[in-house]
Structures are given as structure tokens and as C-alpha cells.
Amino acid sequence: MPAASHLPVAASSGSFLITPNVGLMIWTLLLFAISMYILGRWVFPRISEALDRRQHAIEESIDHAEEMRRDADALVEEYRARLRESRDQAQEIIERARKSADAHEREATEHAQQRREQLMEQTRRDIEAETRRAIQEIRREVADLTVLATEKVTRKVLDEADQRRLVEDALRDLDFSALAPGDGDRN
């Protein structure tokens, strides 16, 4: 092993990587420059172009999303406005229906009241007419009975003037006002 002993200690321990070697440095710099040239000439433009396309696509997506958000906000606001308008219209329709129902109820009540008053007036007129007819019938009966009774008592037939005078005296004595309510001054 005598040959191994004359080798320097630095070479055997791997320290050649730490010690500067000018030839290795030149080749490293030359390869680095060639690599940078190749990367700069063909690779970096394509990467830059891909990054630009990606950035542009992301910006377009963001712009599109922002535009969609604005459209959605506008639609929501339009929906809210239409909803408010629909509610207002519904409230107005309800109010009109309520007013119409109230008016219809008032008209029906007034009509029923008028009809009732007409029927009451007609009934009152019918009762008065029937009462007058009954009184006239009673007067005729009283006159006939008076004439008949007088003829039987006196046993003679009365002439027309005597009959009239006798009937008028008998009718004057009778009170027909109790038979005709509200009609007391008529005999």
C-alpha cells in the first residue's frame, strides 16, 4: 500500500468539490449560459405565453363572474321591485274588493229597506181600503137593518126620503172611527 500513501488527503476525502477548479467553473458557466439561452429562446416564451393565457383566462373568468354577479343583483332587485309591485297591486285589489263589498252591502240594505217600506205602504193601503170597504158594507147593512126594523115596528113601507132620513140618523149615532185606525174623521 505504499502507492496510496502518496495521494493527497483532500482528494481522498471528496474535498475536490469544494476547492475551486477553473476548468470546471468555465464549463459550468458555459453550460449554464447555453441552458439559459435555450430556455430563454424556446422554453420561457412558451411558459410566459401559457402563463399569460392562464392569467387572461382567469381575468376573463373573474370579469365574467363579476358581470354575472351584477346581472344576478339586477335580477334580484328587479324581482324585489316586481314583488313589491305585486304586493301593492294585491293590496289595492283587496281594498277595491272590500270597498265594492261594502258598497254592495249598503246598496242591498238600502234596496231591502226600500222594498220593505214599499211593502209596508202597500199593506197599509190594502188594510185601509179593506177597512173602508168593510165600513161601507157595515153602513149598508145597518141601513138595511134600520129600514127593515122600522118597517116591522111601524108596519108600513117607508118611502125613499123617509128611508134616507132614518139611515142618516142611525149612522150619525154610530161611531165608525174605532173601526178605522187613523181614519177617525171619516164617517
**pLDDT tens figures, 64-123:** 999 999 999 999 999 999 999 999 999 999 999 999 999 999 999 999 999 999 999 999
Element (H, E) at 15: none
In a domain, 132, yes or no: yes
Mean pLDDT across the stretch 13-35? 83
Domain range spanning residue 89? 21-173
Instruction: List C-alpha distances in Å: 70 to 56, 57, 127, 168.
Output: 21, 20, 83, 108
The grid coordinates of residue 1 equal: 500500500
177 contacts: CB under 8 Å, gap ≥ 6: 183, 184, 185, 186, 187
In a domain, 75, yes or no: yes
Mean pLDDT across the stretch 170-181? 66
Q: Is the pLDDT of residue 55 over 90?
A: yes
- Cβ proximity of 151 and 158 under 8 Å: yes
| Number of domains present in the structure of the chain | 1
Residue type, 98: R
In a domain, 3, yes or no: no
* pLDDT band of 164, cuts 50, 70, 90: confident
In a domain, 4, yes or no: no
* pLDDT band of 163, cuts 50, 70, 90: confident
The pTM for the full model equals 0.39
In a domain, 168, yes or no: yes
In a domain, 8, yes or no: no
In a domain, 128, yes or no: yes
In a domain, 25, yes or no: yes
